[in-house]
Amino acid sequence: MRKSLQFLCLTALLLGAVRANAATDEAIPEGMARIPSGIYRPLFRSITDPVEVRVNEFCLDALPVTKGDFLEFVRANPRWQRSQAKRIFADENYLRDWAGDLELGPNANTNQPVVFVSWFAAKAYAQWQDKRLPTTAEWEFVAAASSTRADGENDPAFQQDILRWYSTPAAKELPVVGKSAANLWGVHDLHGLVWEWVADFNSAAVTGDVRNDTGLERQLFCGAGSVGAKDVRNFPAFMRYGFRSSLKANYCVHNLGFRCAKDL
Amino acid sequence: MNMSIVRRTSVFAAVLIAGLAIALPNSTFADEGTVLAAGPKPIDPEISGEEHAVLTQAPNVPPPITRKHATKVIVEMEVIEKTMRLADGVEYVFWTFGGQVPGEFIRIREGDQVEFHLNNHQDNKMPHNIDLHAVTGPGGGAASSFTAPGHSSVFSFKALNSGLFIYHCATAPVGMHVANGMYGLILVEPKDGLPPVDHEYYVMQGEFYTTGGYGEEGLQGFDMNKATDERPPYVVFNGSVGALVGDKALTSKVGEKVRLYIGNGGPNLTSSFHVIGEIFDTVYPEGGSQASHNIQTTVIPAGGASIVEFKTEVAGTYVLVDHALFRAFNKGALGMLRVDGPNNALVYSGKEVDAVYLGKAAGGGETERRVTALRAEVAQEIKNNPKIANLTKEIQIQKGKSVYMQTCFVCHQPAGEGVPNQIPPLAKSDFLTLNGRNDIIRGVIAGRTGPIVVNGKPYNGTMVPMSYLTDEQIANVLTYVCNSWGNSAEPFTVNEVARIRQESPAPTAASSFE
């Protein structure tokens, strides 16, 4: 009952949002989807974090940033070219699948998602676009939607579908973006293509107290990983949290890309 | 939100750098290979020398440690996510420590200082870490070894306690990481070592939660619901069905001592580990230091291990099972130990007598025995004459079915379908129609070995003699088999079977389960 009420509320909010902004649709940048405001309940939070996070209306790229997009960026910003980037901002794997500073390589497709990018590089790209990286709350809120409902996390078929990506071998060549169906908000490829950076990727794991040896929240490990988690059956969310907290901001990983957000 | 996060990150960095208490130039902070631990490591006066650990894939175990002092041991382990065989025709994406399930066996000595390098292969999708139960300290190394794809972590620990321990990945959701095969064993030898044996083997049980049922072919995904309900289609030793059977069986010779390091990765099920036909002379329950003797079945908890030792006295094939038997017969928890050498009739005779047994009531005085014998004679007479016994074909089929379900189905499968490449099918079997009735009966009594062709497919295995079945049981089970699953034949009679049994030479070797 509560769930359906929630859903109704969300739908009402969405409809309201659509009506309210009907006149300003031109304001939505090309290639972005309008995300209505809503509530996100973090999978992991410390005692001081709120149970619910309100996500304000915002725009999110409908597709992950592609290699073609990123090529334009490094052309315009030579200091982000592979040979120029500082190791402190991008580790030695930065753009390692490219053939050179401005060459993607013979087998690359400009429509593949860009990977091997650091958080710093992703952030710089977003700024160059006059955008920003989405927060964990924003990203998770959007990614929770299946193609038909906002609360896809409560749809076992949707969850199992996401899990399938984790239990299939990595493709030799990355698929191109936009091949999967859009979700309820018109956003593609949140699952099943690449992992994505978020602005606060390390907020779930880095504790406020840095006196312990690594600064990692013990709660993410072993059985303890379920302590304080709001939904122990949400395996995909566990894996995303786990993945994000294994990262450092200069890491560049073969299946980690990003997309940008923008305030309305 | 964005700003506060950035601030938090830089505060973290600042505190961390301050904590290093070394004048690190800023630019090296985030370099690859950043040293995160504070200050120089304290020196352990016990440690002398340094060596690289020899790691082995199951069922092999690294050689015993001969040095008499503690040393620094460097362990290099790589996490690899890869598609491998789970059963014939069935594939699964395993997450592995070192490329196989179970992970590589690590052998160190009590007091050793271990420098552990965990390398997460760059093509992997997931971050991973390692929790070694041999580690004393929060998380067993998990937090210190948490590693993104394409990165390495290093941490050190001192092996304070001897024993056999498991290690596993402890990244959330931990159950899934373990269910995908992320476990292995680390042996911390006591300072004085373990008594010498002739063979040491590494066996680890684990279950797999595939989307398809047991034997369903193709690449199988991980089924979250089956995992949470603890309903695995597969329970196996060493990562796949048949990893320890046939030419991959463990081996020993008569008179030799065997030590098995048995682990249970789980993630959910407790193992009732048993070797059919062996009594464990010594068990170190749960891998600890207390020895127990004369054990038949030893419990191995999920996330636990056990050391079992026994002398192989009698030649034959011994079957390793989880004695929760449906896991053994229906889910794959079977392994084999082949013992070669001369038979030892003093310890085990093989079959000596095959007689009708009519129950305890047959005892008593001379008269009673005589009456019983007469009754048996009458019963035999009735049996031999189906008309009197009203033993119709249907009744024979019914009785034969119960024999089949106790004796034959383990190999030939409940619907007679056999096992691809190993056990020939009985269903719609041209072998049964092409060979004469006598030959079929002889096969059951005397067994069958060597190459045959059934329905166009070659098989080269051994069917053990089933001579312990009575003539009646053999007649019935053959009537059942030859009138089921698309087969059709006249019923087999007790007389037919008895005649063939007269002609057949008695089997020489003890029946073995092969």
For chain A, the domains span 2-65+129-263
Residues of chain B with C-beta less than 8 angstroms from the C-beta of A164: 221
Among B15, B148, B224, whose Cβ lies nearest the Cβ of A163?
B224
Q: According to the per-residue pLDDT averaged within each range, which of B9-18, B341-350, B361-370, B414-423 is highest?
A: B414-423
- For A184-240, how does the pLDDT look when each residue is reduced to its tens digit (9 = 90+)? 999 999 998 899 999 988 766 433 333 333 444 444 555 555 555 556 667 777 788
Indicate yes or no: CB of A243 within 8 angstroms of CB of B127.
Answer: yes
Q: Go through the domains of chain B in sequence order and give each one's CATH number.
A: 45-196 (2.60.40.420), 200-340 (2.60.40.420), 380-503 (1.10.760.10)
Residues of chain B with C-beta less than 8 angstroms from the C-beta of A252: 150
Check whether A254 has a pLDDT greater than 60: yes
- Non-local (6+) Cβ contacts of B368 within 8 A are B362
- For B48-72, how does the pLDDT look when each residue is reduced to its tens digit (9 = 90+)? 999 999 999 999 999 999 999 999 9
Say which residue, A95 or B38, is predicted with more confidence. A95
Say which residue, B214 or B110, is predicted with more confidence. B110
Say which residue, B145 or A231, is predicted with more confidence. B145
- The whole-angstrom separation of Cα B442 and Cα B492 is 13
| Strand order from edge to edge, sheet including A261-263 | A32-35, A58-61, A261-263
Alpha helices in chain A (DSSP H): 2-21, 67-76, 119-128, 136-143, 156-166, 235-245
Residues of chain B with C-beta less than 8 angstroms from the C-beta of A56: none
Give B16→chain A minimum CA distance, Å: 8
Give A167→chain B minimum CA distance, Å: 6
Lowest-pLDDT range of B213-222, B231-240, B404-413: B404-413
* Closest Cα in chain B to A44: B172
* Closest Cα in chain A to B174: A222
Q: Which of B159, B184, B157, B167 is nearest to B132 (CA)?
A: B167
Say which residue, A167 or B354, is predicted with more confidence. A167
- For B436-463, how does the pLDDT look when each residue is reduced to its tens digit (9 = 90+)? 888 899 989 888 888 899 999 999 888 8
Q: What percent of chain B has pLDDT over 90?
A: 50
Helices B471-481, B437-446: crossing angle, 10 deg rounding: 120
Check whether B416 has a pLDDT greater than 80: yes
Q: Give me the torsion for CA of A240, A120, A86, A109, rounded to 10°.
A: 70
Check whether A16 has a pLDDT greater than 60: no
Among A169, A239, A253, whose Cβ lies nearest the Cβ of B93?
A169
Indicate yes or no: CB of B93 within 8 angstroms of CB of A168.
Answer: yes
Give B21→chain A minimum CA distance, Å: 14
Q: Which residues 43-82 of A have a C-beta within 8 angstroms of B?
A: none
Q: Which residues pair with B34 in a beta bridge?
A: none
Residues of chain B with C-beta less than 8 angstroms from the C-beta of A215: 12, 16
Lowest-pLDDT range of B14-28, B144-158, B205-219, B427-441: B14-28
Q: Does A155 touch chain B (CB under 8 A)?
A: no
pLDDT bucket at A49, cuts 50 / 70 / 90: low
* Closest Cα in chain B to A194: B125
Residues of chain B with C-beta less than 8 angstroms from the C-beta of A225: 170-174
Among B123, B170, B171, whose Cβ lies nearest the Cβ of A170?
B123
Strands B131-132 and B163-168: antiparallel
Among B9, B19, B27, whose Cβ lies nearest the Cβ of A249?
B9
Indicate yes or no: CB of B29 within 8 angstroms of CB of A242.
Answer: no
pLDDT bucket at A51, cuts 50 / 70 / 90: confident
* Closest Cα in chain B to A137: B1
Indicate yes or no: CB of A159 within 8 angstroms of CB of B224.
Answer: yes
A:B CB pairs within 8 Å: 157
* Mean pLDDT calculated for residue range B15-24: 37
- For A98-121, how does the pLDDT look when each residue is reduced to its tens digit (9 = 90+)? 999 999 988 899 999 999 999 999
* Mean pLDDT calculated for residue range B224-251: 93
Give the SS3 label for residue B57: coil
Check whether B464 has a pLDDT greater than 60: yes
pLDDT bucket at A23, cuts 50 / 70 / 90: very low
Q: Which residues pair with B237 in a beta bridge?
A: B205
Q: Which residues 82-121 of A have a C-beta within 8 angstroms of B?
A: 86-89, 91-93
Residues of chain B with C-beta less than 8 angstroms from the C-beta of A121: none
Q: What pTM did the predictor assign?
A: 0.68
- The C-alpha angle B123, B74, B56, rounded to 5 degrees, equals 70
* Mean pLDDT calculated for residue range B372-397: 67
Cα distances (Å, whole numbers) of residue B462 to B471, B512, B513: 22, 10, 10
Question: What pLDDT sits at residue B329?
Answer: 80
Question: What pLDDT sits at residue B15?
Answer: 39
Give B127→chain A minimum CA distance, Å: 6
Q: Which residues 191-250 of A have a C-beta within 8 angstroms of B?
A: 195, 199-200, 202-203, 206, 208, 210, 213-216, 218, 220-223, 225-226, 229, 233, 235, 238-239, 241-243, 245-250
ipTM of the complex: 0.72
Q: Which helix (H) or strand (E) holds B397?
A: helix B393-407
